[in-house]
């Protein structure tokens, strides 16, 4: 398959790297990025020689979350975040996924990374769940996965405050992931991937299915509740105005 904003490359035997590189939208969830990520993960699932995925971005961007048009479509009742289940692709992947979050990870982009099995952050990058900055409640499973991965206290703070946190600050706050200089993120992820490829693929798939089984069940119920909250919070005129005036600032 031909890819334009996602690069799929086997960098070592059994290790496939998916690089998001939609420079036009700074790796926001454009139509192209969504469709190519879905296709890339499908290709990964079909190739039984792959044992681990490294998911990363380009330069200083990992993933920027929803596009302005995409968020406004939800506000206008024309779409829901469940229309494209891109956020849970790492969770649904048969083999382990390492999110090498070398760059800024914003809103749904941060949530996307949290659904990976391993996470590596950079000291310099900004990490934020900024949904509430626009006045609407979080979606994409954020209210489930962020507290689960970061802990109740820090996860709740990120969701409610919608603040920007540098990786270095999160490291001091005890985030349970390795946080290294940006130029070392991929190196760290590759070292982890090499450990994983030493295992039999059948065993890797079997163990991952076991580890994420409860998460998948719990996530479905949370997503239903997030959709109910969206029905209420996206209807505010203030929310639409915030999306128009604050997006990208």
Q: Which residues are catalytic?
A: 230
The three-state secondary structure class of 168 is: helix
Two tokens, residue 206: 């079997």
Other CB atoms closer than 10 Å to residue 42's CB: what's the count? Answer: 12
Sign for the pseudo-dihedral over CA of 86, 33, 80, 61: positive
Instruction: List the helix and strand counts (H, then E) for the chain.
Output: 10, 10
Torsion of CA 3, 23, 11, 101, to 10 degrees: -130
Determine the distance from the C-alpha atom of residue 194 to the mean position of all C-alpha atoms in its chain, rounded to a whole number.
Answer: 22
């Amino acid at each position: 398959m031909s890819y334009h904003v996602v690069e799929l490359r086997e960098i070592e035997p059994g290790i496939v790297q998916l690089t998001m590189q939609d420079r036009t939208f700074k790796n926001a969830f454009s139509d192209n990025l969504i469709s190519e990520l879905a296709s890339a993960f499908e290709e990964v699932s079909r190739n039984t020689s792959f044992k681990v995925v490294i998911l990363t971005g380009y330069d200083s961007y990992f993933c920027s979350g929803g596009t302005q048009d995409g968020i406004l479509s939800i506000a206008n009742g024309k779409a829901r975040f469940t229309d494209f289940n891109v956020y849970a692709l790492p969770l649904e992947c048969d083999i382990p996924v390492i999110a090498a979050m070398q760059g800024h990870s914003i809103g749904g982009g941060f949530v996307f990374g949290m659904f990976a099995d391993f996470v590596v952050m950079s000291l310099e990058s900004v990490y934020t769940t900024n949904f509430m900055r626009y006045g609407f409640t979080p979606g994409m499973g954020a209210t489930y996965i962020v507290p689960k991965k970061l802990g109740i206290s820090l996860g709740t703070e990120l969701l409610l405050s919608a603040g920007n946190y540098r990786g270095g600050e999160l490291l001091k706050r005890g985030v349970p992931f390795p946080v290294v200089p940006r130029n070392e993120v991929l190196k760290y992820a590759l070292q982890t991937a090499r450990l994983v490829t030493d295992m039999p693929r059948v065993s890797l798939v079997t163990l991952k299915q076991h580890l994420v089984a409860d998460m998948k069940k719990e996530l479905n119920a949370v997503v239903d509740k997030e959709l109910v909250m969206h029905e209420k919070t996206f209807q505010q005129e203030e929310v639409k105005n915030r999306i128009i005036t604050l997006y990208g600032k």
